[in-house]
Structure formats: C-alpha cells, structure tokens
Structure 1
C-alpha cells in the first residue's frame, strides 16, 4: 500500500470509536511481573518430565506468551489448553450465587469465544505444540492430561478450582508446580479461587504461598 494511503487509513482508524481494535493495547489478564513469574515456573520445571497444562485459557493471549517463551528457551514439552470456550457453566454460577452470596451479573464474561478462534490464534502465531480441549472441567477427567510438570489453573470460580486441584495434583510429578490464578480474597468476583486454593493447602497441611498479589503456588515435594 502507498505510504500516504496507509497513513490516511491509519488516521481514520485512530479517529474511529473502534480505535482500540486497531492500535496496540495490553492484551493480558496478568501483569508483566505475573507473566514473568509464570515463565520462571516453566523454567524451574524444565527438567521435570511431563507435559504443561493451562486449564482455563480464554482467547489464548497468555497461551501465546508462554509458548513463545518456551520457543525462545528451547523447551519442547507438550502443552494442553482446556476451556469451555463459551464462558462459565450454569452450575458453577449457581454455586457462586446461591451458596457464596454473589450477584449473577458478576459472571457474564468470557462468553465471546470459540475453540476455532483459539486454534486460529495458535496457528497465526506459529504455535503447533498446543492441543486445545473443549470441556467443562467439572465433567472432564483432568488426570488424563498427566503426567504434568507445570499447570496454570485459571478457571476463576470455587467449584471448578476445587475439583480441578485434586486431579491435577494427582498427576503432577515430584518437583512440579501448579499456579492458581485469582487467589485474592479482596476481589469479590474471583474470591472463590482464593478460597478453593487455601482449603486445598490447609487440607494438605502445606503453607499458603501467594505470589505477585494473586498467584497461588503449589509445589509437589520431590
């Protein structure tokens, strides 16, 4: 395209109400230190055998970031990405509303998504190791992902976190790490993740370890 025409088109985009779709914006639900920490966990488990899993991946922004880190560091492990790809399931919302006193309006996010879009994002970024699985984690046997060396668990709500942690820990190899996102009791929308993580650690008699404000860390003893 002619440079002058390209500049005119970009100026029109900048002046449009849709500007945010055309110009760079921060695409992650993690801060830079949090993303860096996730990369550190992948590096720390480099020599632990087993695959990597991301349970709750939404549009794949973090998936791309972590896989680009793996590419840069020459880490070639299989990578599973599990999500409903259509938002929260009804029973998980019911638990938050009826049993945990939340407003139903809190849980309308993440519905604008499709597995096909996620897979296309991986392809567009040249990522071939990721195997996406469309599933409700309450119904899916997460032990089938194992053995695992590292897992990012980011399904937000109490019921799916509670169920997922036990299965993922069962197939986590010694020295492996699970990071649970949204472990922040001060954020009412996601405090179910915090409660489920703390209950899991207390049941195991392990110290609670929350890093960078909201990342709950679990390490399986070697």
Structure 2
C-alpha cells in the first residue's frame, strides 16, 4: 500500500466547488457551519487554502469531512436534493475505500491516503467535486423542491390519491404550506377548479397532524365575468359539468378537515372567521383577487404565507400588474418567485408587510 496526499489539478474548479458547498450548506437546518472543516471550506471558497501541497490536501480532506456531515443532516425543501446527493456520493466514496483497502477516511487529514490504488480514490473525489458544482444552477433549486414534495407525498399519501392529476404545481405549493404549519390559523384556497389540489393538501394537513381546517372557494361553474383586460379567460371558462367538483369535495369533507364553499369568492370569502396561516389565490384575474384579499386582510398576520398563481402568464394579463402594485405600495413583500428558478412556472409567495391602499 502506498501513501499519497491529495493535490489539486484545477484549484479554481475546487474553489468553485467550495463556494457551492458553503452556499448550499448555509441553508441547512440544522446547519453544519460549525467546526474546523467547514471553516476551511470557507477559506477554500475564498481562495485562501491552496498555498502549498499540504494546504491542498487539508482542503480536500475538509471537503470530504463536510460531505459526510452533510449526508447526515435533515433536509429542508430547498436542500433536499443536495443532501440526498451528498449521501449518495459519500456512500460511493466509502465503497471505494473498502474496495481498494484504504486507510480510514478519518485519518486522511492527518496522514497520507494509503490504498491499493490511490489514483482511483483521487479520481472519485474529483468526480464528486465536479458533480457538486452543478448545484450552483438554478434548476437544481427547482428540482430540490420537486424531489422533496414527491418524497413527502410518497410518505404521507396513498398512491390512489397521489396519482390524481391537479392543475396547480403542488411541488412548489406544498413546501410553503408546510412552512406555514407553525403559524396560527386555517388554510384558504380561492379558485380550486376540480378540487384535486384541495384534497391533496387537506390530506397532507391531516397526515401531518396539523390543527388546521382547509377551506376551498369556487363558483364550481366557471368564471362569471370576462377578463377585463381581454385575456383568454371569460364567462364559463374552467367549467366542467362532467365533473361534479363540489360534490367530489363534499364527499371528501367527511374524512378530511375540508370545507368547499360554493359561490362568488369575492363575497363568500367573508364567511371566514378565524386567522389564516396560508392562502392560495388562483382566481386568474386581478379584479377577483383584490376584493378577496381586502376582505381577508385582517385575518392575515405578518407570518401568513400568501401564494398567487399565474403571475405573468400570458393568458392571465391582469395578475402580474395587480401583484406588482401591492409590492410597490409596501402592502406585501415578495418571499419567493418561482420563475427565478424555473421559467414559466408563474408562482409567487408573499407576506403581509404594511397596509393596503384604499381602492
């Protein structure tokens, strides 16, 4: 068995890996930001850990130590895929350590790597570092939310319910509903169409033991007005007489904390009595969303998460200007813009910041 230290064939590439790791790990809960290894990774990210061969070896060993620590972390929705990949890469490296009879990884930082084929071990480490660099891409953030939601659905929901097709992007919605669980209050959805999303999210609330009720509002016979901006939606749009959505939701309300409310949501929303922790607005027109939000405004606190669908979608031209006006006035602050990580997903989440301007 021979001894060998890790060198860096491409120090700049490793520096990029360190930056990505530090950025991703900084979002973990609980974090891994403590300890000398993570401190050295921060030094490597800043380009201050490559002065000599010994410094390069210590930087790589710190990276491998952080990789193992990351693999043992609980993942948030934003870091789910990153943590899963860290665990995958860490197991793969451990397999190679056994396969090539290397000395224990914990000894590498204090001594050279000793194995039957150090070149293979070094190549594995280089490949892992290269793969982790891909997590700097915005698409990885979207994939992480998708993977996280699908894993939660698989754990909490029967396949026959999970397999029902909803219109809205549940992968982007559920993580924010989950973030709202500690906030006091119920959940309200406005514009549910067939109600599949309502059933899935109400099921998740029940499965998670949340002390919340899910209210879902719709006319259940399509839009009653035309889009005032001349958008694609008009009277009767999203009408589906072949599917009795109200009856469907009423049946589910017998076993789920779910109440469907039939009628014009700009008026029926006044039925809500208690505080709200999560609001989902999918009414496709600013002239419908605005009166609803004004009516429920007093029931929303600073931690209430408010989701708006179809922001910027060509078929719904009034939604984005309406939301832009709310943000510009200081009434709400933007906390998530789905198009920054996945173009053409059209979802925004905001929180209450100030007061609504008079109509």
- Taking structure 2 as the reference length, the TM-score comes to 0.46
Q: Which residue of 2 aligns with 1:154?
A: 282
1:98-113 equivalences under 5 Å are 100=229, 102=230, 106-107=233-234, 108-113=236-241
Contact persistence 1:147–1:172 (CA under 8 A): yes
CA distance in 1, matches of 2:266, 2:258: 22
Instruction: Note if 1:211 corresponds to 2:338.
Output: yes
Q: 1:205 to 1:86 in 2, by over 3 A?
A: closer
CA distance in 1, matches of 2:253, 2:274: 26
- Taking structure 1 as the reference length, the TM-score comes to 0.71
* Pairwise CA distance, 1:50: 0.8
Contact persistence 2:327–2:333 (CA under 8 A): yes
CA distance in 1, matches of 2:332, 2:277: 19
Q: Which residue of 1 aligns with 2:165?
A: 27
Q: Which residue of 2 aligns with 1:197?
A: 323
1:56-95 equivalences under 5 Å are 56-90=191-225, 93=226
* Pairwise CA distance, 1:120: 2.6
Question: Which of 135, 140, 156 is equivalent to 2:263?
Answer: 135
* Pairwise CA distance, 1:40: 1.4
* Pairwise CA distance, 1:47: 1.5
Q: How many residues align?
A: 185
CA distance in 2, matches of 1:113, 1:169: 33
Comparing both structures, which one devotes a greater share of its residues to helix?
A: 2
Q: 1:202 to 1:167 in 2, by over 3 A?
A: farther
CA distance in 2, matches of 1:163, 1:115: 28
Q: Which residue of 1 aligns with 2:183?
A: 48
Q: 1:65 to 1:26 in 2, by over 3 A?
A: closer
CA distance in 2, matches of 1:165, 1:80: 15
* Pairwise CA distance, 1:62: 0.5
Q: 1:142 to 1:192 in 2, by over 3 A?
A: farther
Contact persistence 2:308–2:349 (CA under 8 A): yes
CA distance in 1, matches of 2:351, 2:217: 21
SS of 1:156 mapped into structure 2: coil
CA distance in 2, matches of 1:145, 1:56: 19
Give the RMSD, CA atoms, in angstroms.
2.8
CA distance in 1, matches of 2:332, 2:248: 40
Q: Identify which of structures 1 and 2 has the higher relative contact order when contacts are C-alpha pairs closer than 8 Å and 6+ apart.
A: 1
CA distance in 2, matches of 1:133, 1:126: 15
CA distance in 1, matches of 2:253, 2:273: 24
* Pairwise CA distance, 1:55: 1.0
SS of 1:111 mapped into structure 2: coil
* Pairwise CA distance, 1:193: 1.7
Instruction: Note if 1:120 corresponds to 2:255.
Output: no
* Pairwise CA distance, 1:141: 4.5
CA distance in 2, matches of 1:130, 1:162: 24
Runs of 4 or more consecutive aligned structure 1 residues displaced over 6 Å after TM superposition: none
Q: 1:48 to 1:26 in 2, by over 3 A?
A: closer
